[in-house]
Amino acid sequence: MPPSYRSGYSLEGCRERLFRPFPPGTRTPRPHGDRPAAPRIDKEIPPVRMLLIIGSPRRHSSAGLLAAACADTAVSLGGEVRSLDLATADRRELSRLAVPERVAAADAVVLVSPVHHSGYSGLLKTALDELPETGFAGKAVGLMAHGSGSRTGNVVCDQLRTVARSLGGWVVPTQIAACPRDFATVRQGRGFPLTAGPPTTVPDAALTARLGLFAAELHRCARMLRLTVEAGAEAGSA
């Protein structure tokens, strides 16, 4: 059975972000005076189901922290997110994680890897080998990597871009190459009188903005692919 998804966010709350105003200078019909016409919604749009595959062999890794930040951003856009942490299983037992079934149940897939000798992790490679030749067909795919330097993750993302496209995936333009300097450790006060709480690691403003762009591209791509599939199905049944 495909994995279930859940979200605490309503679809109504995310429509503002999905339908952006027309760019300046664009001629659009305005039946209500100077106010732009509202987008037409013929039916309810189901939320995007996103699967994050974390390829670090260590639990509580920096790649996992990056994936968690991405998940928070995706949920804020109304998505339903599940993560698959490959570190929870022995490499010889990856088949029990049902990677192909989890990917098939998702609308969008995000591959997250640490940088290992200028390449993506062997654990992620083993998991991707579980997929059929068209494992990402009809899926929006996002790429993220965490390395020691600000540029090292780009090499890994470029490698994964080739792999994802070979599996039939639609890879979004924006990719995330992060490093330790992109995160900050903060302490949140609690109680009265105010006492210091446990430290929390959060992405900085620049990474947060890039994650927002990344997640928005995944949502738009996944929804366009879904509409294409539905239109094809309707045409075939006509």
* Inside any domain, residue 15: no
183 assigned to some structural domain: yes
Expressed as residue numbers, the domain containing 57 is: 46-187+197-237
CB 14, CB 82: distance < 8 Å:
no
Cis status, amide bond into 199, omega within 30 of 0: no
- What pLDDT does 96 receive? 81
pLDDT in tens, 121-180: 999 999 999 999 999 999 999 999 999 987 899 999 999 999 999 999 999 999 999 999
Query: What pLDDT is attached to residue 150?
Result: 79
In a domain, 10, yes or no: no
Q: Number of structural domains, the chain?
A: 1
The reply to whether 38 falls in a domain is: no
Q: What would the pLDDT profile of 16-63 be if each residue is shown by its tens digit?
A: 443 344 345 544 444 444 444 433 433 467 899 999 999 999 988 999
CATH number of the domain bearing residue 57: 3.40.50.360
CA dist., res. 136 & res. 144, Å (int): 16
Q: Does 201 fall in a domain?
A: yes
Is residue 57 situated within a structural domain? yes
Radius of gyration of the chain (CA): 20
